[in-house]
Structure 1
Amino acid sequence: MACLTETIIHQAIQGDKAAFAKVYQHYRTPALKFSISLLKDKEEAENMVHDVFIKIWEKRALINPELNFSSYLFTCLRNMIFDYMKQMEKGQLLRQRYMERMERTTEDDQEELETRCILLHKAIDALSDKRKQILLLNIEGGKSYQEIAESLRISKNTVKNQLVKAKQLLRERVDLAN
């Protein structure tokens, strides 16, 4: 990977969009390879690379141009990927706990389960129309992020973000009521 001149990086940090585009083009492929090596999912790796560059653009004023930009970029990317992996693990753990609870359900638990269902439906009804639509397409319709994005003509990241926020709100509302 040929070194990008410090001038271009400095211009990008100063807000020069053309210079930032050069930085993006220069680092995109190695960042993508790095992401794929950690995530083993090309589509999610591409999302991470886009997200990290958006974050860098938004926080460019905080970047020290005297430090190694490549190290900064890959450290940010690594941290973002690790955070994502932790969220995924937490989601899998929640699903596993849910399945274990469902297996242990007895007649006594049936009333609690019905109460939770009522709370869950109320929480879903309290979501914004768009967020509710995305959630229902995913859960009831079994649609993937990509399918939802295409049918609603929005980005896959928007679908992902809306689902994360919806599920977080549902968890909070159902847990607080108990």
Structure 2
Amino acid sequence: MINYSACFDQELVLLLKDDDDAAFKEIYLRYDKLLLIYAYKKLRNREEAKDLVQDVFTWLWNSRKDFSINTTLSGYLYKSVLNRIFDVVKHKGIIRKYVDSGEHYIEISNEETDYLIREKDIALLIEKEILAMPPKMREIYTLKKKYFLSTKEIATELSLSEHTVSTQMKRALKHLKVKLGIIVLFITVSF
């Protein structure tokens, strides 16, 4: 019987390639907590970090037959986690840019095509949140972001003070940013 805890990482990788569940379990036990701490320090979100590390281990198991590394196992796992952290941060930046702009499209380069489906879901969620705003706030937001009216023009059209229009716009943006946090959590957990 093999003592997996005494095996070197390279031995565990070879056993893993031969569908050895116990080798995978040993790899998981060795690196799970360390990778979780590493991801948490970068993301500052425990649930995102757990999901991200779980994704790395799921990928490792699913691609065990084709798995090959040119470095140490630990280095490979840390690099995998770091790449996924970059993906999460990049995706959050895209969402934040989208909501802050008030526009209902995102320009996506070829490297970001994997976010197309998410972008459509996000657009629907943002539209839903805009529709959930109080009527006057929604009207002001729409006039500002969709019809590009100035604060003064909106105030004149709605017979409100410019201060009221500015306050309502700030509240509308705050409303969307608060909901954005929930959207980001939902998107990263469900995808």
**TM-score, normalization by structure 1:** 0.55
Percent same amino acid at aligned positions?
Answer: 21
Distance 1:16 1:106, change over 3 A: same
Match of 1:80 among 81, 84, 93: 84
Partner residue of 2:39? 35
Superposition deviation, residue 85 in structure 1: 0.8
Higher-Rg structure is 2
RMSD of Structure 2 on Structure 1 (CA): 3.4
Distance 1:55 1:35, change over 3 A: same
Which secondary structure state, in structure 2, belongs to the residue aligned with residue 62 of structure 1? coil
Which one has more relative contact order, counting CA pairs under 8 Å at least 6 apart?
2
State the distance in 1 between where 2:100 and 2:53 align: 30
Letter in 2 for 1:160: V
State the distance in 2 between where 1:11 and 1:78 align: 25
Distance 1:33 1:25, change over 3 A: same
Deviations 1:98-119 (A, max 9, x none): 27974344499xxxxxxxxxxx
Superposition deviation, residue 10 in structure 1: 1.7
Distance 1:39 1:90, change over 3 A: same
**TM-score, normalization by structure 2:** 0.52
Letter in 1 for 2:88: Y
Show structure 2 runs of 5+ residues with no match.
Answer: 105-140, 150-175
State the distance in 1 between where 2:186 and 2:26 align: 23
State the distance in 1 between where 2:27 and 2:187 align: 25
State the distance in 2 between where 1:21 and 1:70 align: 15
Letter in 2 for 1:52: V
Q: Give the total of aligned pairs.
A: 118
